[in-house]
């Protein structure tokens, strides 16, 4: 059993800072999604960052804001001494390679993205342009880098410890739903780190007295029949982080609430869309720290010489409105441990 003392909770963030980041992120949506021709014309000969978002500007707004804020602190301002070209895949995996080729044609100086699928697609497209991942699950296990201390090649960034935290998430889910006995783990198996996470859930669950049913997703069309196949078969749902499932989070959560299934996720955006809870790295902090990697590369360092870093801030988020809809009473002691309670 994973001891509760092993959980790492970051201090609750200051509300004013969160509001500032949210407002800044909202103001960025137009710029991040602006007409490509106009932005390219404005860029001139500035060093260019290619920014590949796996989902949408709205989902990533706070993350982009944190990234740009850190770049600004380091002296890099979009349109002044650096240019940023944004591309948004909207959960479509086929667009990763397409946008990678665009960045190559644009001769960007560095590509920034997040998620194992996008990173692997960009890495396959170029071995020359430096690549920074703001978050990736098990970068060594999936072959993104040769090692954490010595990444090798043209890729470096930050791990989100997606696989490592599977046991913590399961125990937290059981803590708020003590009657939990059978849990479904849902994931896009086309993404290597998701397969690793699903395997870890299957290993850890029996140690916590839980039975696991795996639901393997390969494409959007698998989601509805997949979740409908769970009716009456499970009493909890663990969803592995992946751009495809992030894009359809509202649909997944609507089903889970209708079936009275408590849900566990890896980050806050799922909970904002009606999920019960999430536990994982603070993504704005990971994207903020990605700014440091970009700064080093723009100043001449090679990705092979920049060690991959681990998350240092972890968030436990819970949605009380969803808990009420599920008929769950969350203990006060649990709420006090949460970094954010959504009401």
d(CA 339, CA 343) in angstroms, rounded, equals 13
Q: Which residue has the tokens 């240092």?
A: 312
327 and 209 housed in the same domain: yes
Band (27; pLDDT cuts 50, 70, 90):
very low
Domain of residue 37, CATH code: 3.40.50.2300
Which residues does residue 251 pair with via DSSP β-bridges, in sequence order? Answer: none
219 and 331 housed in the same domain: yes
Q: Which of 310, 230, 243 is nearest to 270 (CA)?
A: 243
CB 115 within 8 Å of CB 187: no
pLDDT reported for residue 34: 52
Give Dmax over CA atoms of the chain in angstroms.
61
pLDDT reported for residue 89: 95
243 and 291 housed in the same domain: no
Band (21; pLDDT cuts 50, 70, 90):
very low
pLDDT reported for residue 124: 96
The alpha-carbon radius of gyration of the chain (Å, integer) is 20
For residues 204-222, give the mean pLDDT.
Answer: 93
- Tell me the per-residue pLDDT of 248-275, one tens digit each, with 9 for 90 and over: 899 999 999 999 999 999 989 899 999 9
119 and 263 housed in the same domain: no
pLDDT reported for residue 192: 85
174 and 310 housed in the same domain: no
d(CA 115, CA 137) in angstroms, rounded, equals 7
Band (44; pLDDT cuts 50, 70, 90):
low
Full-model pTM:
0.82
* Sign of the dihedral through C-alpha 221, 224, 228, 230: positive
> Is it the case that residue 295 has pLDDT exceeding 60?
yes
Mean pLDDT of the chain: 88
For residues 310-337, give the mean pLDDT.
Answer: 96
135 and 48 housed in the same domain: yes
154 and 59 housed in the same domain: yes
pLDDT reported for residue 45: 84
Residues in the chain: 343
209 and 235 housed in the same domain: yes
Of 71-85, 112-126, 190-204, 313-327, where does mean pLDDT reach its minimum? 190-204
> Is it the case that residue 12 has pLDDT exceeding 50?
no
pLDDT reported for residue 137: 82
Domain that holds residue 149: 4-161+283-314
307 and 333 housed in the same domain: no
207 and 296 housed in the same domain: no
> Is it the case that residue 306 has pLDDT exceeding 60?
yes
36 and 95 housed in the same domain: yes
SS3 261: coil
> Is it the case that residue 17 has pLDDT exceeding 50?
no
55 and 81 housed in the same domain: yes
**Number of folded domains in the chain?**
2
CB 196 within 8 Å of CB 137: yes
> Is it the case that residue 185 has pLDDT exceeding 90?
yes
């Amino acid at each position: 059993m994973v001891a509760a003392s092993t959980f790492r909770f970051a201090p609750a963030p200051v509300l004013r800072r969160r509001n500032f980041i949210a407002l800044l992120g909202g103001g960025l949506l137009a710029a991040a999604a602006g007409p490509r021709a106009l932005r390219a014309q404005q860029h001139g000969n500035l060093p260019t960052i290619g920014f590949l978002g796996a989902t949408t500007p709205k989902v990533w707004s706070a993350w982009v804001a944190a990234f740009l804020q850190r770049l600004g602190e380091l002296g890099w301002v979009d349109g002044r001494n650096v240019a940023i070209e944004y591309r948004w895949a909207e959960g479509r995996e086929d667009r990763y390679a397409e946008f990678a080729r665009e960045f190559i044609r644009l001769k960007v100086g560095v590509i920034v993205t997040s998620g194992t699928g996008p990173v692997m697609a960009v890495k396959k497209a170029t071995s020359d342009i430096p690549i920074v991942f703001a978050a990736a699950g098990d970068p060594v296990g999936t072959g993104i880098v040769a090692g954490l201390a010595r990444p090798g090649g043209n890729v470096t960034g930050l791990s989100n410890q997606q696989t490592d935290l599977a046991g913590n998430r399961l125990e937290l889910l059981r803590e708020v739903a003590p009657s939990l006995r059978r849990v479904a783990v849902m994931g896009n198996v086309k993404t290597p780190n998701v397969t690793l996470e699903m395997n870890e859930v299957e290993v850890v669950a029996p140690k916590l007295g839980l039975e696991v049913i795996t639901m393997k997703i390969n494409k959007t069309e698998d989601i509805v029949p997949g979740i409908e196949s769970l009716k009456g078969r499970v009493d909890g749902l663990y969803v592995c982080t992946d751009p495809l499932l992030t894009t359809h989070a509202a649909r997944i959560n609507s089903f889970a609430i209708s079936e009275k299934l408590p849900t566990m996720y890896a980050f806050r955006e799922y909970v904002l869309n009606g999920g019960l809870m999430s536990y994982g790295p603070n993504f704005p902090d990971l994207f903020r720290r990605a700014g440091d990697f970009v700064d080093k590369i723009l100043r001449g360092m090679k990705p092979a010489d920049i060690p991959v870093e681990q998350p240092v801030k972890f968030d436990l988020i819970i949605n009380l409105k969803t808990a009420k809809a599920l008929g769950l009473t969350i203990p006060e002691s649990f709420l006090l441990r949460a970094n954010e309670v959504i009401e």
